[in-house]
A and B are shown apart, each in its own frame.
Chain A
Amino acid sequence: MKNIIVKANAGTLTNFEVLDLLNSRGASNDTTTRVIAPVSTSEYKVYDYLMETPACTQTLEILTNFSDQCKDFKLAKAEILNIINIRPSFTVELAPILEEPIERGIDNKAIEGILKLVEALLPPLPTVEACGENEEEETEEGEQS
């Protein structure tokens, strides 16, 4: 089977955009909907992975707003993508994302600025206990209805 790859890279996607795509096809956490929705098992594995990352709390406006404000810090596109996907809360989490920060003039002040922007604009990941509570609430509603 010969595939002709027309364009190997027709655009990079953030985790949020892939999650949004799966959501629009009907993917969800509800077990009954899972069987009916036109989403395959392997796509559900990706959905489950993404629901545990910060992507599950993001929206398109949040991301466009964040990448606009990132322009001041002169970050590479790949670095902005990494920050959106990982949502670092501490300097030490941001460090492996930035490449050669000292040579590019990104000092501690700039790093703190980036972290403040992340804290202000990107919603944090819900804690594991909160996620557990949400699941319990859903099942209770299911039983009542």
Chain B
Amino acid sequence: MFCLSELEDTVRVPPDLLKLPLEVAIKKVLQKLFLDKVLSIGLCVSIYDIKSAEGGFVLPGDGAPTYKVVFIIVVFRPFVGEVIAARFKESDSNGLRLTLGFFEDIYVPAPLIPRPNRCEPDPCNRNQMRWVWIFEEQEYIIDDSYQINFRVENISYPPVPTERAEDGAIDDDGLGPVSWWEGCSERNNEDDDT
């Protein structure tokens, strides 16, 4: 889910931060620039380390020094095929939307919800639709009572690089709300015996 990436950038340190040790000041500026932003390599979660900072030249007409910094950040970048535990956020007729707290653009499109299923207007929320999975004549509602395991199918970056959406699948064994599977191992063992 997470990995480290090494970046190099020119960083301008505003004069009001110069009373702090250099490393702390540069880290503050980097955090403001990168934290919680989506880059082409993923969502930046944290500044891991500063490898080197050189320069410190003050350009004419500017009161702030500029450093060339090489640093390492922690990015959230899942790979296709990864299984992630998420929580239900909302659902509509197109599918579900799941959230991880720090990342909320996980969509499960309708074709990837286990079939047979049906979609009905949610009795609790007027604007939302509720998805129900029908298996062996038992109905399982997809809602926010338990965490949902999903597998990453596709990662897309929209043209304006502020959000990033992921498509997930929950129509395979072991995916979907965890409560569906918790009692299941006994059933599986019985099937093997017969």
Using CB atoms and an 8 Å cutoff, list the residues of chain A in contact with chain B. Answer: 1-15, 17-18, 21-22, 40, 42-43, 45-46, 48-49, 52-53, 78, 81-82, 85-86, 88-97, 99, 108
**Cα of A99 to Cα of B76 in the assembled complex, Å:** 22
Contact of A6 among B1, B3, B7 (CB under 8 A): B7
Flag if B172 contacts A95 (CB, 8 Å): yes
Q: Does B81 contact A (CB under 8 A)?
A: yes
With CB as the reference atom, state the residue of chain A lying closest to B181.
A92
Instruction: Give A78 to B149 CA distance when docked, in angstroms.
Output: 17
- Chain B interface (Cβ < 8 Å from any Cβ of A): 1-9, 31, 33, 35-36, 39-41, 45-46, 48, 70, 72, 74, 76, 79, 81-85, 100-102, 147, 149, 151, 172-175, 181-182, 184-185, 188, 192
Residues of A with C-beta under 8 A to B175: 96
Residues of chain B lying within 8 A (CB to CB) of residue A5: 5-8, 40-41
Q: Complex Cα distance A40/B31, Å?
A: 9
Partner of A22, one of B3, B46, B84, B172: B46
Residues of A within 8 A of B33 (CB): 1
The 28 listed contacts between A and B (C-beta, < 8 Å) are A3-B9, A5-B7, A5-B40, A9-B4, A10-B72, A11-B3, A12-B2, A12-B4, A13-B2, A13-B4, A15-B1, A18-B2, A18-B45, A21-B48, A22-B46, A40-B35, A45-B101, A45-B102, A46-B45, A81-B82, A86-B85, A90-B174, A90-B185, A92-B181, A93-B181, A95-B172, A95-B174, A96-B151
Q: Do B174 and A94 have beta carbons less than 8 Å apart? A: yes
Given contacts A40-B31, A42-B45, A93-B149, 17 further A-B contacts (CB under 8 A): A5-B7, A5-B40, A7-B6, A10-B4, A11-B4, A13-B2, A14-B2, A18-B2, A22-B46, A45-B101, A81-B82, A91-B188, A92-B173, A92-B181, A96-B149, A96-B151, A96-B173
